[in-house]
Amino acid sequence: MRAETIAVGSELLLGQISNTNAQIISRALQEIGVDVYYHTCVGDNEERIKQVFKIALERSDVIIFTGGLGPTLDDLTKETVSSFLNLPLQLDEPSLERIKDYFKKKGKPMTQNNYKQALLPEGSSPILNRKGTAPGVLLKYGEKIIIMLPGPPFEMEPMLTESVIPYLAKSSQNTIFSRVLKFYEIGESLLEEKIKDLIVGQSNPTIAPLAKMGEVTLRITAKAEDIETARNLIRPVEEEIVKRVGQYLYGFDNESIEEIVAGLLLTSKKSISIAESCTGGLMAHKLTNIPGISEVFERGVVSYSNRAKQELLNVKAETLGEYGAVSEQTAMEMAQGIRITANTDIGVSITGIAGPGGGSPEKPVGLVYIGYADSKTVIVEKHLFTGDRMDIKQRSVDAALHMVRRMLKGSGD
């Protein structure tokens, strides 16, 4: 089956909110073997909604609308679909009762415009909304399946997983399964060159490279009758890729680098402390997003000024005077200082120039030093990152996390 999503809402086109629903729906459909070919976004305008709906009916078997099911005049999805298909809207009494109960439980009056949320196209079925007032709509129109869901993801996603996916799974003959391989310190072009013959010869499974900030991913996707068969199709391809470029592989699927580092720290029972300058606590923030990290994360210090580096980390005034805050020597003393002060197994430091100002020919914007210290080793890496201020901060933290990962895995050299 071929599917597409249509997100309705002028706020999406204005960039006020992101269309995360398309991502959520596509991932869910992939798991049951439904191919998503198109994502469309359209504003709150009846004629334009009709135009995109007409195109969708001609090219897709499943059309999933999100948004436009609210009580206000600019919520037009049901009205537009019903008008286009010449299906009158009819009151669904159970839906109306649920809406009334919703407001009663909230202790708020139900306004007249909320009644329109209980109107459904003739021949359709309601999709239960446990999180809000607007029921979804499931409509079989000839050979087409038309689904309408609310726009807020916290309402839409439970309806998708509890009702829509089980319904569509009965009609799908295949499962689509993907395995994502994540690489660091290798560019997209070099990675592709090393596995070019596999990409050229692909059929089922397929291989798709994708470059992100500071890393490259390969998505291996197979279509089969069930997940286990799809896994078996992927396995030899994955093994061959790992054989060729495994030294750059750091994770799989949705694993983040901070999750991987946290897992290594917890498994090895190694405690860590961090001294950050140009990244302003971003590394500590990422690690502390991981549940259970308090067992190994002792503290993070934002030592932005030279004074802070001296008072909190015992960086020597002579070091700062001779080499400057952004230097190998300062990064080394910061890593050692935080480790000793916090009494942890590992100390990490980041110091650099995030820009847009502050650079010089000798020390340009993007110059970052990352230090690592444990009981046996003290090392410093020099990096020159590109991008804006936030890009440089993000790249610096990723590099520091990968440095810790390598050291914990015993491949620090």
342 three-state secondary structure? helix
Question: 148 vs 35, 159, 272, CA distance in Å?
Answer: 18, 10, 49
Q: Put residue 107 in one of left, alpha, beta given phi > 0 → left and psi -120 to 50 → alpha.
A: left
Q: Is the peptide bond before 356 cis (omega within 30 degrees of 0)?
A: yes
Q: What would the two tokens of residue 116 be?
A: 């329109």
Residue indicated by tokens 């900030």: 213
Residue 139 has pLDDT above 90, yes or no: yes
Question: pLDDT of 189-223, one tens digit each?
Answer: 999 999 999 999 889 999 999 988 889 999 999 99
Under the banding of pLDDT at 50, 70 and 90, the label for residue 411 is low
Pairing outcome for strands 62-66 and 144-149: parallel
Question: pLDDT of 58-73, one tens digit each?
Answer: 999 999 999 999 999 9
Closest CA to 290 of 268, 252, 265, 258: 258
Q: What would the two tokens of residue 214 be?
A: 């500071």
What is the rounded average pLDDT for all residues in the chain? 95
Residue percentage of the chain with pLDDT more than 70: 99
Residue 413 has pLDDT above 70, yes or no: no
Alpha helices by DSSP H, 246-385: 257-268, 282-287, 306-313, 317-323, 328-342
Better-predicted residue by pLDDT, 172 or 259: 259
Residues in the chain: 413
Q: Mean pLDDT throughout 293-313?
A: 98
Residue 348 has pLDDT above 90, yes or no: yes
Closest CA to 292 of 338, 259, 268: 259
Domains and CATH numbers, the chain: 2-169 (3.40.980.10), 175-252 (3.30.70.2860), 257-408 (3.90.950.20)
* CA dihedral for 333, 338, 341, 345, sign (positive or negative): negative
Give pTM, 2 decimals.
Answer: 0.77
Q: Do the Cβ atoms of 61 and 94 come closer than 8 Å?
A: no
3-state secondary structure string across 68-87:
CCCCCCCCCHHHHHHHHHCC
- Between CA 162 and CA 127 the distance in angstroms is 9
Residue indicated by tokens 């302003």: 280
